[in-house]
Amino acid sequence: MRLWRCSVFVAALLPFLWWAWQVAAGRAGPEPGQYLLLNFGQCALILLLLTLSLTPLMKLTRWKGFALIRRQLGLWTFTYGVLHLTSYLLFILGLDFSTLGEDLQRRPYIIVGFAALLMLLALAVTSNRYSMKRLGKRWKFLHRLVYIALGLVLLHFFWVVRADMAQWSGYALAGAVLMLLRIPAISRALGRIVPRRGGTRRASRAS
């Protein structure tokens, strides 16, 4: 299981290293800042969807490995989100904070993206055992913010699309399916698809 967690760690780090290498090698085009911005943002969305797919996957397969990497993937989502914001501040605005102020007042997609990242920040800082204990029942409630964050991220992306919805539609569909799987009735049904080990034996004895 340790090996599993380590390989997930490496797999999540690899995209960052690859894009950094592309930039260093001069293969990121005439606007390397924009290249990183787009890739980091898209990576954060994919990681968010992957994180949200772990619980349904666990229900379906009953493999504990999925639960083991949930916090890690959540933190990676936040990390790529921060990299996305940092590239925007450094490479697009050139640290011109007056423009950021204007953007935050006027541009809905920036406001929405910023709000989503703030939510992910709240989840990231409370992702430790101490916070779980401190917050008790409220922890679970707080961490449902991730659903709202997903909605905001998709909206953020939606407002950036210029002429073709294909890619966005793919992500939105994946997000919608993951949300549907959380409806209690569907979630319970998901758990019944693969029979519980030992459960079948008990059933046969009863008959």
Partner 1 sequence: MLIKTRKRHQIGENEVTSESVYHARRHFMAGVAGLGMAAVLPRSVWAASEYDNVEQGSRPDWFASRLDNTHWKAVTAGENDKLTPFNDATHYNNFFEFGTSKDDPYKHAGAMTTEPWTIEVDGEVGKPGTLDMNQLLGEQQLEERIYRLRCVEAWSMVIPWLGVPLSAILKRAEPTSDAKYVRFQTLMRPEEMPGQRSRFGLIDWPYQEGLRMDEAMHPLTLLSVGMYGRILPNQNGAPVRLVVPWKYGFKSIKSIVRISLVKEQPPTAWPTINANEYGFYSNVNPDVDHPRWSQARERRLPNSLFSPNMIDTQMFNGYGDEVASLYKGMDLRKYF
Binding residues for partner 1 (CB under 8 A): 23, 29-34, 36, 90-94, 96, 99, 102-103, 106-109, 159-160, 162-169
Compute the least distance from the CB of residue 147 to partner 1, in Å.
25
**CB of 139 or CB of 168, closer to partner 1:** 168
Q: Of the two residues 104 and 189, which places its CB atom closer to partner 1 in the complex?
A: 104
Q: Minimum CB separation from partner 1 for residue 22, in Å? A: 12
Q: Using the minimum distance from each CB to partner 1, give the nearer residue, 147 or 159.
A: 159
Q: Return contacts of 199-203, CB within 8 angstroms, 24+ apart.
A: none
Cβ proximity to partner 1: between 37 and 58 the closer is 37
Say how far apart CA 94 and CA 86 lie, in whole Å. Answer: 10
**CB 32, CB 23: distance < 8 Å:** yes
Give the whole-angstrom CA distance, residue 158 versus residue 193: 34
CB of 164 to partner 1, least distance (A): 5
Task: Tell me whether residue 6 or residue 161 sits nearer to partner 1 (CB atom).
Answer: 161
Report helix angle 166-180 to 145-158, nearest 10.
Answer: 160
CB of 172 to partner 1, least distance (A): 11
Residue among 181, 109, 113 at smallest CA distance from 149: 113
Beta carbons of 186 and 178 less than 8 angstroms apart:
no
**Least spacing, CB of residue 165 vs partner 1, in Å:** 4
Neighbour tally for 50: CB within 10 Å: 20
Q: How far is residue 27's CA from residue 158's CA, in Å, rounded to a whole number? A: 28
